Structure 1
Amino acid sequence: MQFRTVPPPEDLSRFIEHFWVIRWDSVLGPYQSDEVMHRPYVDIFLSAQESGIQGTFRGKRTYSAAGSGRIVGVRFRPGAFHAFWTGEMADLQDKVVPLRAVFDWADASGIAELLEGDDDAVITTLIERIRTAAPVADTTLEAINDIIAAVETDPALSTVAAVGEAFGRSERWLQQAFREHLGIGLKWLLQRKRLLAAAAQIRASDAPDWVGIAYDLGYSSQQHFITDFRTVLGATPVQYHRGLTR
């Protein structure tokens, strides 16, 4: 498979992280990817097989391909698709919805016509059509992206209260801003961070201390830890460790 990204023009950089293109050739039989863990993004994508708007998947997801093909997509910055989506952002969780739900041109014939161009031509047209939608960003968008960047890099930011203190925001403001712009709560992001830290501990040990890992993460019940770990990483901690040893 081939994958490349294209940066957005300056006037759309508040909304778009990058455009992307995936190409694959001569896949013999159906191909299924490893499970992919999502970050809090929304993507739109176009291909001859399927097109749509993909919201944040809170667990892990697999992708399939066959033969040869191409997908052209747009990755929006966390919270940015709120400027385009008129419904509740939570309605995009764990699902793919038709492009036509936001973009009037994106019926079957409109998508087919657009995909007649090469990769750069498709991206150029998408830029024009996103501009036509005239999105308006609010100040909360930048605050959310600053918070996400800090949470993902600062080990001290492990609770909603700690994030609120660091950014001078109330816990209520944080929860409301994340749900309104992302459709997910800040607690989900913090949980994902904790469980990725658990996975790192498991990878670093030949004989992980399961009780100790759960306790370090703040779990009072090991079963609760196991359930959350499986939801986010697609396997129980023991299964995850066995997969590493194999």
Structure 2
Amino acid sequence: MLYPERLPRFTRVPAPVEASALLEWVWIPQWDLPAGAQSRQPVLAYPAANIVVDADGVTLWGATTRVSERVLRGSGWAVGALLRPAALACLSDAPGALVDAHAVLDDEPTGGLHRAVVAAMPDVQAAADVVAGWLERVVGPVTAEARLANDMAELLMTDAGILGVDDAAERLRVSVRTLQRLAHRMVGVSPAAMIRRRRLQEAAQRVRDEPGTSLAAIAANLGYADQAHLANDFRTVLGITATDYRAAR
């Protein structure tokens, strides 16, 4: 969330242990805005899919390569789950086709997920449990390949020491080609794209939360060649400069 201070009520529920191979967490925004008011929230999303239930239905959103924007008006809620590759591989046979796109899921094929979440809200824990339980039933046992894909995504998105695909392949003890095929088949974007997104997310958070740290220092600490490369990432993906982002906050 690039401007978290603009958010209405927002709850993040950790994945239950029994569903931790399928989702990272469940996120639930709720809002009740005055007539005519709106809340705009640019989002630099994780390179992963989300399944989202709201008052209108169930939508499967693929990984994104750019910033998206949510505009909230009136009152409402959404219950979303940040999916791990093991879950996405069972919900879509072509994750690449979902990149920067989405698919609306019918309620009957989803086993009444929409009805169950609507019935659970506004109890956020109950709604999160519904989504996690549904994923467990739909996905079933997690295969060895799916666990490897989960390990790959976790490594690429959490380890700042992984600066290139070669680093990740060596850590996971697989070939670069194996890693690339796995990412394409079970995430939809390349390992290199996942590394770039993690680095940009970290950069945005540090630019926002560390006003006393120079942009050059942030760039160096995150493995950018120089401040110019950080600036280029900001302009290309976010559409603003790091300096302007910091000033806006």
TM over 0.5: yes
Aligned to 1:181: 186
Paired residue type of 2:242: Y
Change (3 A) 1:44 1:156: closer
Aligned to 1:242: 244
Post-superposition Cα deviations, 1:100-156, rounded to whole Å, max 9, x if no partner, equal: 2x961579xx84675244344545554554344243422233333333333344443
Aligned to 2:11: 4
Aligned to 2:101: 95
Whole-angstrom distance in 2 between the partners of 1:154 and 1:124: 29
Paired residue type of 2:243: H
Paired residue type of 2:118: L
Question: Would the aligned equivalents of 2:57 and 2:105 in 1 still touch at CA under 8 Å?
Answer: no
Change (3 A) 1:218 1:77: same
Q: Where in structure 1 are there 5+ consecutive unaligned residues? A: none
Instruction: Give 2:135's match in structure 1, choosing from 114, 130, 152.
Output: 130
Q: Does 1:118 align with 2:125?
A: no
Secondary structure at 1:63 match in 2:
strand
Q: Does 1:104 align with 2:109?
A: yes
Paired residue type of 1:115: V
Paired residue type of 2:147: E
Whole-angstrom distance in 2 between the partners of 1:103 and 1:186: 35
Post-superposition Cα deviations, 1:8-63, rounded to whole Å, max 9, x if no partner, equal: 45443321223332211134425243311111222212222464111111111110
Q: CA deviation at 1:79?
A: 4.4
TM-score by length of structure 2 reads 0.74
Decide which moves more: 34-43 or 123-132. Answer: 123-132
Change (3 A) 1:34 1:69: closer
Whole-angstrom distance in 2 between the partners of 1:73 and 1:124: 12
1:217-232 → structure 2 map (5 Å cutoff): 217-218=224-225, 228-232=233-237
Whole-angstrom distance in 2 between the partners of 1:103 and 1:184: 30
Larger Rg: 1
Aligned to 2:66: 59
Question: Would the aligned equivalents of 1:99 and 1:106 in 2 still touch at CA under 8 Å?
Answer: no
Whole-angstrom distance in 1 between the partners of 2:213 and 2:160: 24
Q: Where in structure 2 are there 5+ consecutive unaligned residues? A: 1-7
Change (3 A) 1:75 1:119: farther
Q: Does 1:75 align with 2:77?
A: no
Q: Does 1:163 align with 2:168?
A: yes
Q: CA deviation at 1:207?
A: 7.5
Q: CA deviation at 1:183?
A: 0.4
Question: Would the aligned equivalents of 1:60 and 1:231 in 2 still touch at CA under 8 Å?
Answer: no
Instruction: Give 2:151's match in structure 1, choosing from 146, 152, 163.
Output: 146
RMSD value, Cα: 3.5
Paired positions, count: 233
Identity of aligned residues (%): 22
Whole-angstrom distance in 2 between the partners of 1:40 and 1:152: 9
Instruction: Give 2:91's match in structure 1, choosing from 75, 84, 107.
Output: 84
Whole-angstrom distance in 2 between the partners of 1:72 and 1:156: 33
Paired residue type of 2:145: T
